Structure 1
Amino acid sequence: SYLCMGLLSARQYFARDTAKENKLRAKINALWQDVEWSWHTRGGAKALYWHWSPRYAWDIGLEIRGWNECLITYVLAASSPSHAIAADAYHRGWAEGAQFRNGKEFYGVCLPLGPDYGGPLCFAHYSFLGLDPRGLKDRYADYWEQNVNHTLINREHCIRNPGQFKGYGRDCWGLTASDDHLGYHAHDPAHDLGVISPTAALSSFPYTPEHSMRALRHFYYGLGSKIWSEYGFVDAFSETLDWCAPSHIGIDQGPIIVMIENYRSGLLWKLFMSCPEVQRSLRSLDFESPAIG
C-alpha cells in the first residue's frame, strides 16, 4: 500500500508529455493495475487479510481491521481500476474492528478512534503520507482531529512521564513502533519502555508544528552526536538505559521527510489526492474532503 501510494504520487508529479515521463507513467500504471487487492478478501470476505503466501496460504488468518496504520490499504483497494474491493469491506471489515471506535478522553484530550491512548504514533503518519487528513471526514471521524489529538495525547504522556524515564519532557517526546534495546516494539503510552523514537515527534510536524520544532531542536542541538549520524537521527534511543539504536529504518526515516514537506507545502498530499482513482474511491467509501469537492 505504501509503495503504491508513493508510485501514484510520482505518477501525478511527472505529468509532462515527454518520452521519459510517458514511459514512467506507463510503468507505474502497469504495476498499479497488477496489484490484486480483491485477492486479499479470500474470495469475498467482508475484510482484507494481511498475509498470504504460496507456502502457507492463509494460515495466519489475520484480518486488517482498524484502527491502525492501514487505512490507506482500504482506500487504495477501493481505488483499483482492475481489482477493486467493495465499499462493504471498509464499513463491515475495517470499521468494525474491536479497537476502532473510542471516544474517551486521555490526559483531557478526546480520542475519536483507536486503542486507549492512541497506540503508536505511526497510526497518524503512514496512511497520511499521501492521504490528506485536512478536512477528511467520514461517518466515523474527522481525521485531522483524530491525528492531532492522538499526537497531543502521546506528547502529554511523555510530559507527565508516569514511568519516570530520564529525558522525557516537553522537548523530548514521541512513542511509536521502532527498534529498541529488546528488539522491536510498537511503543505507545500503554506500552512505554522508556524509548523515544525521533520519527514520532518529527513526522507529526503537520499536526503539532511548534511542539515538533521544539523536539527537533532538542534532538539536534541538545542530544546532537549522541543520536545524529550520516543518515540522520538514529531510529530510537533511551536516556534511562544510555542506549541508542545502531539502526536507521526507512519506514521511520521516510515519514520525517514527507511529513515535513506536507507541513511546509502540502506537496505529497496534493499529488496523491489529485489521483482520479483515489477521488473516486473516497467518494465510494463516503468520505468528505476539500480535495474531492
Structure 2
Amino acid sequence: MKPRDIIELEEKLCFEFFWNEVSKSDEGYGLILDNTRDKDVASIASVGFGLSGIPIGIEHGWITKAEGRERAKRTLETFLNNVEQKEGFFIHFVNMKDGKRTWQSEVSIIDTALFLMGALTVGEYFGGEVKDLFEQIYSRVNFPWYLDKENNQFYMGYSYERGFWGHWDKYAEQLMMYFLGVASPTYPVEPSVYWSFQRDIGNYKDYELIYTYTGSLFTYQFSHAWIDFRKITDKSGVNWFENSVKASLANWEYCKEMHDKYKTLHEYSWGLTACDSPSGYRGDFGAPPSANNNTQHYVDGTVPPCGALGSIVFVPEIVEETVRYYYEKVPQLWGKYGFKDAYNLDKNWTSEVYIGIDKGIELLMIENYLSGLIWDIVMKSEYIRKAIKMLEMEEK
C-alpha cells in the first residue's frame, strides 16, 4: 500500500475507536474509554478527541450528519448534567456508566481543556442546540479559581484530598488553556497569564527550540490539533508551529542516533512520547532537548506510532515513510483499531491496548494533514478569534 492509503486507513480505524468504545447508558451517554484494557473507565480527554472526530466522520461519509449531531448533543448533555465537576472543571477519569469519579482522580484543568476543545469543535460545526450546550458548559468554568494569584500561573492539578499542587510553570501542551481562559465569557483570566511560564531554550544537533520538561512529543502536539499556529506569531516572535517542527526533527534525529543501543529506534521508527510500555503506562518518554536531556530513565526502546503520526503536520515526508515501515515491517503492531499503542523489539513486546488520547492525536493530526478540517472549524470560533486578539498574536 502507498503511505497515503495506509494513513487514510489508520484515520478511519482511529475514528472507529471513538465511535464504538462509547457509553450508551442514560447517565454516561457519550463517555469514551480511556483505554481498551480498563472497560469501566472513561477519560474526559478521550471524549474531547472523540467529539472532534465527529465532523471528520461526517465529512468522510462514515456516519451521517444526523448521527453525528445526536452523538454530540447527547454527549454534551451528559457533561452539563452528569459528569462530576468542581467550579466547572471536570474529573479526569470517570466511570463509564454514570460520569462519577474513579481512581481517586484529580479535577483536571488540562483534561478539561482537551474536552472543551472537542466541545467547541462540534459546537462550531453544528451550531444551534449543540453550540448552546457548549456555551453553557464553557461559561461554567471558573478559570480564576484554578489560578495561583501569587505567581499568575495555573496550578498543575487539584484533588479533593490534596487541594492544589504544582504549577504550569514551563512550556508544554497547555497553550489551549490560555486561549480558553482569556476568552471566557464569564470567568476570564488576564492575558498576562500566557507570559507567566518559562520558555527554556535548548539545542539538539542543529535544532534550537523552546523545550518541554520530558521532551515527549505529545507536549508539542496537543494544542496544535485544534489551533492552527502556522501563521500565528506572538509578540516575542515565537511561532509555536515552527517550534514543534524543530522538536519533531530533534526527536527523529535522536532516535536515529540511538539505534546502536535500541533495535526499535531508527530512521523509520521514532517519535518518543507518552505511551504504554513493557512496564506499564509511561508519561516521561521523550527526546532532547529537555529538562534532563533524557538520561536512561526516559528511554527504554519503546516506540508508539502516535509519536510520529501526531507530528504528520510538522514533518509529513518523514512520517509517510515511517507509517509505511510500521505497516509493512511490523505486522504485530496492526489490529482492530489500526496501530496498537506501542512496541519494543529489544524486549520482544507489543502493546495489546488502544489508548484514547493516542488514537485521538493521530485522528486529528491526520485530518489536518489531509484537509485542514479541524483547524478550519476551530479557527472560525469567536472565542479563538477573541483569544488571538487578547493575547496580541500577529496573524500572517
User: Structure 1 length as normaliser, TM-score?
Assistant: 0.88
- Match status 1:168 vs 2:274: no
Determine if contact 1:167/1:240 at 8 Å carries over to the other structure: yes
Among 191, 205, 209, which residue is 2:312 paired with? 205
| Corresponding residue number in structure 2 for 1:279 | 385
Q: CA 1:107–1:215 in structure 2 vs 1: closer, same or farther (change >3 Å)?
A: same
1: distance between equivalents of 2:303 and 2:133? 39
Query: What is the one-letter code of the residue matched to 2:339?
Result: F
2: distance between equivalents of 1:45 and 1:27? 33
Query: What is the one-letter code of the residue matched to 1:39?
Result: W
- Pairing 1:231-270 to 2, within 5 Å after superposition: 231-270=337-376
Query: Please, what is the CA RMSD of the aligned residues?
Result: 1.7
2: distance between equivalents of 1:234 and 1:162? 22
CA apart distance, 1:52: 2.1
- Pairing 1:214-225 to 2, within 5 Å after superposition: 214-224=321-331
Determine if contact 2:170/2:212 at 8 Å carries over to the other structure: no
| Corresponding residue number in structure 2 for 1:136 | 232
Determine if contact 2:224/2:241 at 8 Å carries over to the other structure: no
Determine if contact 2:259/2:266 at 8 Å carries over to the other structure: no
| Corresponding residue number in structure 2 for 1:87 | 191
CA apart distance, 1:45: 4.9
Deviating more after overlay: 70-79 vs 251-260: 70-79
Query: What is the one-letter code of the residue matched to 1:74?
Result: Y
| Corresponding residue number in structure 2 for 1:18 | none
Query: What is the one-letter code of the residue matched to 1:267?
Result: L
Q: CA 1:108–1:42 in structure 2 vs 1: closer, same or farther (change >3 Å)?
A: closer
| Corresponding residue number in structure 1 for 2:122 | 10
Query: What is the one-letter code of the residue matched to 1:274?
Result: K
CA offsets 1:130-171 (integer angstroms, 9 cap, x no match): 011211211151112101000000001111116610132221
CA apart distance, 1:115: 4.2
- Match status 1:71 vs 2:183: no
1: distance between equivalents of 2:148 and 2:249? 38
2: distance between equivalents of 1:42 and 1:145? 30
Determine if contact 1:262/1:268 at 8 Å carries over to the other structure: yes
| Corresponding residue number in structure 2 for 1:183 | 280
| Corresponding residue number in structure 2 for 1:119 | 215
Q: CA 1:44–1:5 in structure 2 vs 1: closer, same or farther (change >3 Å)?
A: farther
Determine if contact 1:163/1:194 at 8 Å carries over to the other structure: no
1: distance between equivalents of 2:212 and 2:160? 33
1: distance between equivalents of 2:361 and 2:212? 22
Query: What is the one-letter code of the residue matched to 2:307?
Result: A
Question: Secondary structure of 1:141's match?
Answer: coil
Query: What is the one-letter code of the residue matched to 1:132?
Result: D
Q: Which 4+ stretches in 1 moved above 4 angstroms?
A: 42-45
2: distance between equivalents of 1:90 and 1:228? 40
Unaligned runs of 5+ in 1: 16-21
Q: Identity across aligned pairs (percent)? A: 26
- Match status 1:158 vs 2:255: yes
- Match status 1:109 vs 2:215: no
Determine if contact 1:42/1:49 at 8 Å carries over to the other structure: yes
2: distance between equivalents of 1:121 and 1:56? 29
CA apart distance, 1:195: 0.7
CA offsets 1:32-55 (integer angstroms, 9 cap, x no match): 111111110145751111222334
User: Structure 2 length as normaliser, TM-score?
Assistant: 0.66
CA apart distance, 1:105: 2.8
| Corresponding residue number in structure 2 for 1:195 | 302
Unaligned runs of 5+ in 2: 1-112, 288-293
